[in-house]
Structure 1
């Protein structure tokens, strides 16, 4: 029987809570990672803690507030400098990436999640003597390409490329032949679809906190 290691990037919002509930129901040995990077709504982190506890997930919260200084050109990291966009037309949303985009945020998050998951996987192989062929390593991320944000790191092609990058850049992939899987189960769903799915799964929507 395969050892199914999973990691979910859990923000505390609707989308990531739905994905975490889905992964939990699928039977993964699931670890939740919440990242504090200087975003405006730290209430999300408290929500993530409550959700992880309710879903009985192992949970890590990491503070990478320094990232705010690096990815400073965003309304989410510098709200006093940049106003949140309002009344954007559908045409604008389709063409322009808004000021709420945080430079390379999902690339950074995916790398942090992969580092933690690879550590878990290497421990299973090298300490617990799990055969690499009996191991899965899956990252769940609640990216959504249909929310009209226009973020490039919420598109399917980004995650398809990330899988190969993680394989080539990891001991897990190059020495043991275990490829990271990156699952984006709500990437093509509308917000209404996500809410329906969350209700279907019994996700703890009452604990969620919207990102912005």
Structure 2
């Protein structure tokens, strides 16, 4: 099957998909050595750097492996699920357990590293969460997540920020379901306000242990409710 020249953009994504199709379609069985970068670049009508990035993406998917001095070989014809796919397929309770590990440590770091701008952002997020108490469940959950995202941001660790960003879509729907199924806001539309206010206060006071303890207690209660569904 000829590869065919690609459209101008996005070249890396197109190159990756073309090469992936060759592998998953059986054109290049396991153990096959792929053509060199120059040959692939000419066949696809792209530069060698584009081919190199595409091969890196295929290696990340577990389809190919570069062997020093030998070239790039097909090692599987079925790609591994990437991290975001695994999260979407995971049980929300499993994701929440990992969220606890990430956020509790982030709260501890936030109390030690927060800046004045971080405190301003945290207090604004807390105020928005309180305002959202008068809104529907989805908007309230969004405001709640925004406050937790502000805590993560105050930790000033891009890896923690990235992990939380990956968790958010799964968490959001799970939390909306939780609020609706258990009718958590029936008596208190601002459910959890005290613990969230205490968390912001602990971070502002640079009390790392109090921040960690407060958030862990709040998240453990939510996890217990999720597990009861």
TM category (shorter chain) comes to under 0.3
User: What is the TM-score of this pair, normalised by structure 2?
Assistant: 0.21
Q: Which structure has the larger Rg over C-alpha atoms?
A: 2
Higher RCO (Cα < 8 Å, 6 or more apart): 1
- Decide which structure has greater helix share: 2
- Decide which structure has greater strand share: 1
User: What is the TM-score of this pair, normalised by structure 1?
Assistant: 0.22
